[in-house]
Amino acid sequence: MKREYQRKIFHMVLGITIGLLILYIRKRYLVFIVTGTLCTGLVIRLLLLKGYSFKLIENFLNRFGRPMEVGMGAMNFFIGVLIAILFPFPREYASTSVIVLGVSDGLSTMMGLGSKNKVYANKTFEGSAAFLISSFIIIYFSTTLFQAVLVSITLTVIELLSPVDDNLLIPPVGALLLSLATW
């Protein structure tokens, strides 16, 4: 359980950091950084799966990764971020969505650990409530009350029911919903 908390705190810090970078770094540099990180991670992941040993990377994955995942969650995180910044969403919305992914997804897991109140699959009532409340607070900083309610509820349902990793969906879908909500 301690590992999952460490993992999610790292997830939150990464989401906030990348969200802020989206606001303050030119898009072409950001795409280069995220794509470079993604490609480097992919090569390292493939080499690890082939049996090569990188002690520093393995120690990092042992501390912050899930067993048998070999960095797949991080790969999906960066793919979701890349999609959000490549599409023509306002950078504020891409940033907000990445911060929602980092913070709200992290809090939902942390609040749901050990809960017996399952809502759907491994998702818990407490985790979904944490995602809803924290995403509303984050989104409300960049939009109106009604839009924040609408987008945070929609993202919570997506996080709850998504058949694919929410790291892939939350950043681009959040940015899209925020863009649509401001029309």
pLDDT value for 51:
78
Distance CA 42, CA 75 (A): 7
Angle, to 10 degrees, between the axis of helix 145-161 and the axis of helix 91-112? 50
Mean pLDDT of 159-165: 89
Which letter, b or e, does each residue of 53-83 get, where b requires 16 or more Cβ atoms within 10 Å of its Cβ?
eeeebeeebeebbeeeebbebbbbbbbbbbb
Asked if the model's pLDDT at residue 145 lies above 70, the reply is yes
C-alpha distances out from residue 178 to 49, 117, 140, Å: 38, 30, 11
* pLDDT confidence tier of residue 49, bands split at 50, 70 and 90: confident
Q: How far apart are CA 98 and CA 178, in angstroms?
A: 12
pLDDT tier for residue 121 given thresholds of 50, 70 and 90: confident
| Angstrom distances, CA of residue 2 to CA of 44, 45, 63, 84, 113 | 25, 24, 10, 31, 10
Write out the two tokens for 11: 């997830």
- Of the listed ranges 17-26, 41-50, 128-137, 138-147, the least confidently predicted one is 41-50
What pLDDT is recorded for position 68? 61
Q: How far apart are CA 126 and CA 107, in angstroms?
A: 10
What pLDDT digit, counting tens, does each position of 67-116 carry? 566 567 788 899 999 999 999 889 999 999 999 999 999 999 899 888 88
The residue written with tokens 């995942």 in the block is: 69
Measured distance CA(23)–CA(91) in Å, rounded: 6
Strands (E) in the chain, as ranges, are 118-120, 123-124
* Residue 65, pLDDT score: 62
0.75 cut: is pTM over it?
Answer: yes
Judge contact between 86 and 171, C-beta under 8 A. no
Say how far apart CA 155 and CA 76 lie, in whole Å: 17
What is the average per-residue pLDDT within 119-146?
Answer: 92
Q: What is the mean pLDDT of the chain?
A: 88
